[in-house]
Amino acid sequence: MTQKTTIGRRTALGLAAAAGAGALVPRRARAQAKEVKIAMLVPLSGPWARTGLLEQMGARMAIEEINAAGGIKSMGGAKLTLVEYDAGDSAEKAKNAAQRMVAQEPDLAGGFGAWLSSFTLAVTEVTERADLPWLTLSYSDLITGRGFKNVFQTSPTANLQAEELIPTVMALAEKTTGKRPTKVAIIGDNTASSVSFLKQMREKSLPDAKLTIVLDQIYTPPLSDATSLVQPVRSARPDFVLLQSTAVPDDKILMDKFGEYSLAGGKLPLIGGGGHWAVPELLKTVGPELLQGLMVGLANWPGKGQEALVKRFMERTGEPWFGHDSIFAYGHTMILKEALEKAGTGDRVKVAEAIRNMDMTTGPAQLFPGGRIKFDEKGRRVGAELVIVQWQNGKPVTIFPRETAAAEPIWGKG
């Protein structure tokens, strides 16, 4: 299924209409108007649709703000147009959507998305052959470990997140309780990001922290029942549980089962991975009581200094907060805008070159932890940092890094 949105044109027409007949653009000027297309390919249907829709919200807001501010100035004010494609619910469907995208939109200047690492791996095989610069928030190290020249990963990789998460969690637990955890349980799915993350955990992060794995459960999504995954946690008696799922429906099933066994709501520290663990949909389906105290390691979350942006997003969308998926899509659109400004053309080869040569600490760089947009030879963002948020009183709030933290962390019953 293909979804196509020409937000740039709609915004321009809406502004003209609002100004009345006196603001009508002369025919000659209209004939000279330009547009430049970028693509978004994310799950808009299936179990990962909610995260894709959150990306869509962030991207559409960025497009409208860019065009309202005068478009791409180095291209004579060309309006930025967002072309949307649905990745669906499988890597095969995502790859097929990518193939349709490059065939149907030969004048694309760049794009972003795919969201789930397994989807991104498939999609970027297509975009790389088409020389299309592609930005992604997906975590798997494999995405930028294949020698591709046109794939740019703005998130810290799964391995890097695994390296940073455990020392941070151990320090948090010791500071809060005075004791260092010694036992951990793992429940995760077998998608690419989870596999990469958990490999690093088992081989290095957990042994380095002297943590014993007392339970290690892997499943194939989507989940229909989590009893066999959660029930053994009670007898294993871990000090905390790592949850490496990738879809909101699976998160709900897991949290409901933890609640059924009286292990949620802060009674047993639970640590999820990825932005899907901090979406409003989870609050609606699980409830604040069970989510209380749940920590989430992820790649981005709005922090101090971004209050105005958060307010604009909430007012525009009606969402209760501006989170991981939306800020990534907003940021990726802004990076592509900057690349187009530097390239002065919608030629994808030149746009990719502009991204490779970027080294920014202002503008869109302030939308990403670490505050810098620069990519290394693999296409990984230099200085990408882990962020940890925690569900407190019905809302995910930043607890790490300290410079952007909005609340003090809690461990166990909060």
> How confident is the model over 75-105, as pLDDT tens digits?
999 999 999 999 999 999 999 999 999 999 9
Is 397 a residue whose pLDDT tops 70? yes
Q: Predicted confidence band at 24 (pLDDT cuts at 50, 70, 90)? A: very low
* Torsion over CA: 224, 228, 229, 231 (sign): positive
Residue ranges, comma separated, of all CATH 3.40.50.2300 domains in the chain are: 7-156+304-367, 159-298+387-404
- pLDDT given at position 13: 36
Alpha-carbon distances of 332 from 78, 170, 289, 318, rounded to whole Å: 18, 32, 34, 22
- pLDDT given at position 405: 86
The total of other beta-carbon atoms located within 10 Å of residue 92's CB is: 11
pLDDT tens track for 152-191: 999 999 999 999 999 999 999 998 999 999 999 999 999 9
Residue 7's identity, in one-letter code, is I
**Tokens 């829709």 identify what position?**
53
Is 312 a residue whose pLDDT tops 80? yes
Q: What percent of the chain has pLDDT over 70?
A: 92
Q: What is the CATH number of domain 7-156+304-367?
A: 3.40.50.2300
Is 112 a residue whose pLDDT tops 90? yes
- CA 46 – CA 155 distance, rounded (Å): 24
- pLDDT given at position 304: 78
> At how many degrees (to 10) do helices 324-343 and 49-68 cross?
40
Q: What are phi and psi of 230, to 5 degrees?
A: -90, -35
Mean pLDDT in the chain?
A: 91
| Strand pairing category for 79-86 and 151-153 | unpaired
- pLDDT given at position 413: 58
Which CATH superfamily is 159-298+387-404 part of? Answer: Response regulator (3.40.50.2300)
